[in-house]
Amino acid sequence: MRASRMNLWTLREDPAEAEIASHRLLTRAGYLHKSGAGLYLYGPLLHRVIGKIQAIVSQEIDRTGALQVTMPILQEQAVWERSGRWATYQASRTMLTVKDRNDQVFGLAPTAEEVVTDYAGAVVKSYKQLPVTFYQQHTKFRDEIRPRFGLMRVKEFIMMDAYSFHATAESLDQTYEAMRVAYHRLFARMGLQAFAVEADSGAIGGSGSHEFMVAAAIGEDTILYHPESGYGANRERARGGIPAAPAWATAPAACTKVLTPKVGAIDEVMGFLTANGFAGVQAAHGLKCVLFVAGGQDDKGKPLTATVAAFTRGDREVNEVKLTNAVTRLMFPVLNLRPMHPDEVRAATGAEPGFAGPGAGLKVEVCLIEEQLKGVGPLVAGANETDHHLVGFVIERDAGVAYQWADLTSAAAGDACPLSGKPLMERRGIEVGHIFKLGTKYSASMQCVFTGADGKLHPFIMGCYGIGSSRVAAAAVEQHHDADGLRWPMSIAPYQVVVVPAGKPDDAAVNGAAEQIHKDLLAAGIEAILDDRDAKPGVKFKDWDLVGIPLRIVCGRGIANGLVEFKPRGGTVAEIPVAEAAPRAIAAVREALAALDAAADAVR
Partner RNA sequence: CGGAUCGUAGCUCAGCUUGGCUAGAGCGCCGCGUUUGGGACGCGGAAGUCGCAGGUUCAAAUCCUGUCGAUCCGACCA
The nearest distance, CB 598 to RNA, in angstroms, is 26
- 168 alpha carbon, distance to own chain's centre: 28
Candidate list 62, 177, 220, 268; residue touching RNA; CB under 7 A: 220
Residue numbers 223-282 binding RNA by CB under 7 A:
none
Q: Which stretch binds RNA (CB under 7 A): 16-24, 243-251, 261-269, 295-303?
A: 16-24
The nearest distance, CB 203 to RNA, in angstroms, is 4
Q: Is 434 a binder of RNA (CB under 7 A)?
A: yes
Site string for RNA, 507-546 (x = CB under 7 A): ---------------------------xxxxxx-xxx-xx
Candidate list 467, 477, 530, 589; residue touching RNA; CB under 7 A: 467
Backbone angles phi, psi at 389, to 5 degrees: -130, 155
Side chain identity, residue 255: C
Candidate list 554, 578, 585, 600; residue touching RNA; CB under 7 A: 554
Q: Which stretch binds RNA (CB under 7 A): 34-42, 48-56, 170-178, 398-406?
A: 34-42
Site string for RNA, 301-340 (x = CB under 7 A): -------------------xx-------------------
CA dist list (Å): 521 to 20, 45, 442, 489, 537: 35, 19, 51, 19, 21
Q: Is 433 a binder of RNA (CB under 7 A)?
A: yes
What's the chain's Rg over C-alpha atoms? 30
Given strand 388-393, what is the order of strands in its sheet?
256-259, 388-393, 379-382
| Closest among 81, 122, 450, 555 to 297, alpha carbons compared | 81
Q: Which is nearer to RNA, 346 or 428 (CB)?
A: 428
The nearest distance, CB 304 to RNA, in angstroms, is 19
Residue numbers 66-105 binding RNA by CB under 7 A:
92, 94
Q: How far apart are CA 405 and CA 388, in angstroms?
A: 25
Q: Which is nearer to RNA, 232 or 466 (CB)?
A: 466
Strands (E) across 352-451 are located at 366-370, 379-382, 388-393, 404-406, 425-439, 449-451
Site string for RNA, 387-426 (x = CB under 7 A): ----------------------------------------
Strand partners, 318: 409
Q: Is 56 a binder of RNA (CB under 7 A)?
A: no
Q: How far apart are CA 330 and CA 35, in angstroms?
A: 45
**DSSP 3-state of 338:** strand
| Phi-psi group of 538: left, alpha or beta (phi > 0 → left; psi -120 to 50 → alpha; rest → beta) | alpha
Site string for RNA, 475-504 (x = CB under 7 A): ---------x-----------------xxx
Cβ atoms of residues 280 and 297 within 8 Å: no
Q: How far apart are CA 409 and CA 166, in angstroms?
A: 35
Q: Is 41 a binder of RNA (CB under 7 A)?
A: no
Candidate list 75, 136, 470, 496; residue touching RNA; CB under 7 A: 470
The nearest distance, CB 321 to RNA, in angstroms, is 6
Q: Which is nearer to RNA, 37 or 587 (CB)?
A: 37
Angle 469-479/44-63 helices, nearest 10 degrees? 110
Q: Which is nearer to RNA, 557 or 590 (CB)?
A: 557
Cβ atoms of residues 162 and 66 within 8 Å: yes
The nearest distance, CB 338 to RNA, in angstroms, is 9
Q: Which stretch binds RNA (CB under 7 A): 365-373, 384-392, 402-410, 429-437?
A: 429-437
Backbone angles phi, psi at 551, to 5 degrees: -130, 140
The nearest distance, CB 194 to RNA, in angstroms, is 11
Cβ atoms of residues 390 and 380 within 8 Å: yes
Q: Is 178 a binder of RNA (CB under 7 A)?
A: no
Q: Is 146 a binder of RNA (CB under 7 A)?
A: yes
Which are the contacts of 514, defined by CB distance < 8 A and separation ≥ 6? 499, 500, 501, 530, 553, 555
Candidate list 2, 36, 397, 482; residue touching RNA; CB under 7 A: 36
Strand partners, 435: 210, 465
Q: Is 11 a binder of RNA (CB under 7 A)?
A: yes
Q: How far apart are CA 238 and CA 225, in angstroms?
A: 9
Q: Which is nearer to RNA, 102 or 572 (CB)?
A: 572
**DSSP 3-state of 188:** helix
Q: Which residues are near RNA by CB under 7 A?
A: 10-17, 19, 28, 34, 36-38, 92, 94, 111, 142, 144-149, 153-154, 157, 159, 202-204, 211-212, 220-221, 320-321, 431-434, 466-468, 470-471, 484, 502-505, 534-539, 541-543, 545-546, 554-558, 565, 567, 573
